């Protein structure tokens, strides 16, 4: 049995092609530690969108990917009022 992270899509900006996620921190894997699966899941519904997420410490980052294949993390400057 594979346990994935718990996250919520909090906003979708279709004009900028950005999906915003929040790590719910419910005791399973964090979005950070499950980035490959999170990117794959989000890309299924929103292909080619940027994926920004707020981690359990309220820090924002981008999950950089190529057509749903996780590549790495990117730094972004964003407020928690998104």
Would you say residue 15 lies in a domain?
Answer: no
Q: Which domain holds residue 31?
A: 20-75
Would you say residue 65 lies in a domain?
Answer: yes
Rounded Cα–Cα distance for residues 1 and 45 (Å): 24
Would you say residue 58 lies in a domain?
Answer: yes
Rounded Cα–Cα distance for residues 2 and 5 (Å): 10
Considering only CA atoms, which of 4, 2, 6 is closest in space to residue 55? 6
Domain count, the chain: 1
Would you say residue 66 lies in a domain?
Answer: yes
Give the H or E element holding residue 42.
helix 35-45
pLDDT at 1 over 70: no
pLDDT of res. 27: 87
Please give the model's pTM, rounded to 2 decimal places: 0.89
State pLDDT tens for residues 33-75. 999 999 999 999 999 999 999 988 899 999 999 999 999 999 9
């Amino acid at each position: 049995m594979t346990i994935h992270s718990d996250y919520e899509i909090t906003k979708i900006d279709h004009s900028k092609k950005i999906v915003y996620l929040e790590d719910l921190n419910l005791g399973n894997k964090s979005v950070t530690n499950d980035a490959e699966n999170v990117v794959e899941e989000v890309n299924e519904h929103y292909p080619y969108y940027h994926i920004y997420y707020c981690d359990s410490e309220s820090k924002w980052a981008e999950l950089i990917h190529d057509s749903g294949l996780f590549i790495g993390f990117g730094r972004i400057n964003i407020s928690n009022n998104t």
